[in-house]
Amino acid sequence: RRMRLSLDIARKFFNLQDMLGFDIASKTVEWLLKQSEEAIHALSKSCTDKIKSAVSSSTSECGKADLGHNRVSKGMMVNKSPSSRDARDLRVQ
């Protein structure tokens, strides 16, 4: 899969990749994920706790975040603007 990055984020990402000495973007992403494991685990636990407390309700607050983040899966968040569209959304079926 490919990701589109804003110009500012792309600059930061590739500067980090250069500092780390990685030649493959996936290694940089893997490094970032390892560095944020604790925060990801805390978010996952928080969402799991919210889901457990909302069992009787048909909807859960898990996945909602400030700044317009969208729920992707099991508590993982991606900052995705409402106007952005994936290529698969644009395909005519």
- Name the band, by pLDDT with cuts 50, 70 and 90, for residue 41: very high
How many CB atoms within 10 Å of residue 27? 13
Segment 33-51 mean pLDDT: 91
Task: Report the number of distinct structural domains present in the chain.
Answer: 1
Look at residue 49 in the predicted model and tell me its pLDDT. 80
The answer to whether position 81 is within a domain reads no
- Name the band, by pLDDT with cuts 50, 70 and 90, for residue 54: confident
The answer to whether position 41 is within a domain reads yes
| Greatest pairwise CA separation for the chain in angstroms | 50
The answer to whether position 87 is within a domain reads no
The domain in which residue 37 lies consists of: 23-51
DSSP string, 6-69: -HHHHHHHHHHHHHHT-SSHHHHHHHHHHHTHHHHHHHHHHHHHHHHHTTTSS---TT--GGG-
